[in-house]
Amino acid sequence: MGDYGGGGGGGGGGGDRGGRPSGNRFGGRKRFLFRRRKYCKFCENKAVYIDYKDLKTLQNYTPERSKILPRRISGNCAKHQRELMRAIKRARMIALLPFTCD
């Protein structure tokens, strides 16, 4: 078998995949923006229950396309994200929130 260069399995080798050079388009180094850590607003407020009738709170977690925001965007913990999902679905079933954005 011939040696095709690179290492590992298939698909070529080497660290750089070609294409663009490293750094930004102005030739400098990449700057990493400091992002504030997201936190669960329900844990901070010691919320006992996420109410499906509290439309103002629920609408903060459903953008104009009426999809439920994921945890990585909303910053909620797993427990409160599940409760929020249930509350939004209950509000949709009794027509307090829309299913779609029509």
Q: Where are the domains of the chain?
A: 41-93
The pLDDT of residue 50 is 92
Q: Residues in the chain with pLDDT < 70?
A: 1-28
The pLDDT of residue 32 is 72
The pLDDT of residue 77 is 93
Q: What tokens were used for 36?
A: 């504030």
Q: Is the Cβ–Cβ distance between 71 and 40 less than 8 Å?
A: no
The pLDDT of residue 47 is 79
The pLDDT of residue 85 is 96
| 41-93 homologous superfamily | Ribosomal protein S18 (4.10.640.10)
